[in-house]
Structure 1
Amino acid sequence: MSVATQTKLRTEHVKPKIGSRILNKKEELLSGDLADEIREELEARGVLVFPGINFTEDEQIAFTRTLGEYASENPDGSVSKITLDVKENPSAAEYLKGSLYWHIDGTRNEVPILASLLSCKVPSPKGTGNTGFSNTYAAYEELSDADKAKYDDLKVVHAPWASLFYYEPEPPLAKIKGMQAIGEKVLPLVWEHKSGRKSLVLGCTAHHVIGVDHLESAQIIHGLREWATQPDFTYSHEWEPGDLVIWDNTGTMHRAEWYDPNCGRMMLRTKLEGEEPWTV
């Protein structure tokens, strides 16, 4: 008599407070049998690395669909090309500028995306082009009780135009007005999720804390970013061809690390639709 063998998720921690490597075979991942375990590991660890999994574009979309609702960025449902080659990505120059600073995607949306999946087709030269991640669940959980009480009820205005000054300290007025027209949104500094866990909501779109003196506001925003991006809570992934990385956009920040725009780096991205609105 044959006995059915249940596939188990095989993992190893990248660092104590962030990141897991997923060691299962491609066929096991595409079956969908591991989807629930992968989702649990993603929330627990913030970032999941699938080294050398070598998904095709169709396989990456199929794998994304096993984990939730596929949030296509293109009308035809294809993957998105993430590159600084202006022939492939006309907005490459602006993408480079904004992506080099810690951020969370979708701070203006009612429901931010759940996760992004990024795969590497052509890496940049060694020592450049990493993607950095910060576990903002872990960063909150390691705060003192006094700091948690201080920050738990604060609200922050997030605005895309605030990020402009990170890479262009003296922008023209027309550019400021254009980015201000995109809008702003009030978000919690500490997001209490439906799971009961809490994460910090930070990044280069954070402009000011509501109801707090401007000096203290700057100290809170930048001090917590410094706290959340210390080595204990961060991981920098050095890409190899075929790697796939998923990050929980609701409980991590991310950023691109510098690389030469002419080096040919090519990444493919898919996303999972958000499932939980901001709690303000």
Structure 2
Amino acid sequence: MATASTTLTQLRHEALRPVIASRVLNSKAELLSGELGPEIRELLEERGVLVFKQVNFTDEEQVAFTKTLGEFAPERMGDGENVSKITLDIKENPGAAEYLKGSLYWHIDGTMNDVPILASLLSCKVAAPKGTGNTGFCNTYAAWDALPEERKAELKDLRTIHGVWPTVFYYDPEPSLAKLKGMRSVGENELPLVWKHRSGRESLVIGCTTLTVLGKSHFESAEIIHGLREWATQEQFSYSHAWDEGDLVMWDNTGTMHRAEPYDLTCGRMMHRTKLKGEEPFA
């Protein structure tokens, strides 16, 4: 008598750039089944950014898919398992639109925490006009790996101070004292310049929250911080996603930087975000 066989779902994907970003080709039903969770996690660590083109998840489906990949991380304490609306339109997001302007510049989420989130999942509900509002990503693993060995030796043990308030000067060069004090109330955090992961891999911890390098002068710090940002965001390490409504993109927050690219802040661009709880402290 013949024995019935079970066909397991296989993860299907294609590279979008040589060292960053892959498009996942599986159907919505296959993604929501949960069978692909471990493989997606492996691919995310390898590629940094995964694109699910016009998968058209509802909010409930996005939450469910997120939970197939790890522990769901609420946006804030008490928020529960819900999506968060991400927009710079002050009419739609009066409480946080000003704070989110820092997202227009290269950064890593969670530099105020000892354990940053593992990953973010962003779905497009309303896209900006074509040619604007992309989200840019760069691979900070690959950028570190490509540095000359003598430069790595100079950088590998350096420590930095991060804060939210330094990001204000990227978009408001003459901020009010009240704004600075409000941002400063979030605090500061000392972090390694180079994250030595449990896997043995290493990645850069830089971006617009980086204030200074300990033991260096102001200009020496600026040379290191901005020089490494310039290095890491070169085309060979980067991917820019042009959004269509229904797209979902997820990225490894432990090995990439990202930014929203410029767009008309009144155009109604709307993203819904979920996050995966961090599993590894900066080290």
Q: Give the TM-score normalised by structure 1.
A: 0.96
Instruction: Tell me the residue number matched to 1:55.
Output: 57
Deviations 1:137-169 (A, max 9, x none): 110011111111111100011011111111111
Instruction: Tell me the residue number matched to 1:35.
Output: 37
The 2-side partners of 1:60 and 1:124 are apart by: 21
Q: Secondary structure at the match of 1:245?
A: strand
Q: CA deviation at 1:81?
A: 0.9
**Matched-pair contact (CA < 8 Å) for 1:85–1:92:** no
Deviations 1:162-211 (A, max 9, x none): 11111111112222222222211110000001111000000001011101
Return the match for 2:195 from 182, 191, 197.
191
Q: CA deviation at 1:92?
A: 4.9
Instruction: Tell me the residue number matched to 2:25.
Output: 23
Instruction: Tell me the residue number matched to 2:261.
Output: 257
Q: CA deviation at 1:259?
A: 1.1
**Matched-pair contact (CA < 8 Å) for 2:120–2:252:** yes
**Matched-pair contact (CA < 8 Å) for 1:116–1:269:** yes
- Quick check: 73-82 or 236-245, which moved more? 73-82
The 1-side partners of 2:129 and 2:5 are apart by: 48
**Matched-pair contact (CA < 8 Å) for 1:120–1:242:** yes
Instruction: Tell me the residue number matched to 1:140.
Output: 144
Instruction: Tell me the residue number matched to 1:70.
Output: 72
Amino acid paired to 1:217 = S
**Matched-pair contact (CA < 8 Å) for 2:87–2:97:** no
Instruction: Tell me the residue number matched to 1:13.
Output: 15
**Matched-pair contact (CA < 8 Å) for 1:72–1:78:** yes
Identity %: 67
Return the match for 1:200 from 189, 201, 204.
204
Q: Secondary structure at the match of 2:278?
A: coil
Instruction: Tell me the residue number matched to 1:118.
Output: 122
Deviations 1:193-240 (A, max 9, x none): 111100000000101110123222110110000000010111110001
Return the match for 1:103 from 88, 102, 107.
107
Alignment of 1:217-236 (within 5 A): 217-236=221-240
The 2-side partners of 1:213 and 1:86 are apart by: 38
Instruction: Tell me the residue number matched to 1:180.
Output: 184
Deviations 1:75-128 (A, max 9, x none): 242211112333431235314521110011110112100000000111111001
Q: CA deviation at 1:260?
A: 1.1
Deviations 1:237-274 (A, max 9, x none): 00011110000111111100111122121111000000
Question: What is the number of equivalent residue pairs in this alignment?
Answer: 279
Return the match for 1:240 from 200, 219, 244.
244
Q: CA deviation at 1:3?
A: 2.5
The 1-side partners of 2:280 and 2:187 are apart by: 21
The 2-side partners of 1:242 and 1:119 are apart by: 7
TM-aligned CA distance change 1:185 to 1:96, over 3 Å: closer
Q: Give the TM-score normalised by structure 2.
A: 0.95
The 1-side partners of 2:266 and 2:217 are apart by: 44
Instruction: Tell me the residue number matched to 1:163.
Output: 167
Task: Confirm whether residue 80 of structure 1 aligns to residue 84 of structure 2.
Answer: yes
The 2-side partners of 1:262 and 1:276 are apart by: 38
**Matched-pair contact (CA < 8 Å) for 2:90–2:98:** no
Q: CA deviation at 1:73?
A: 1.8
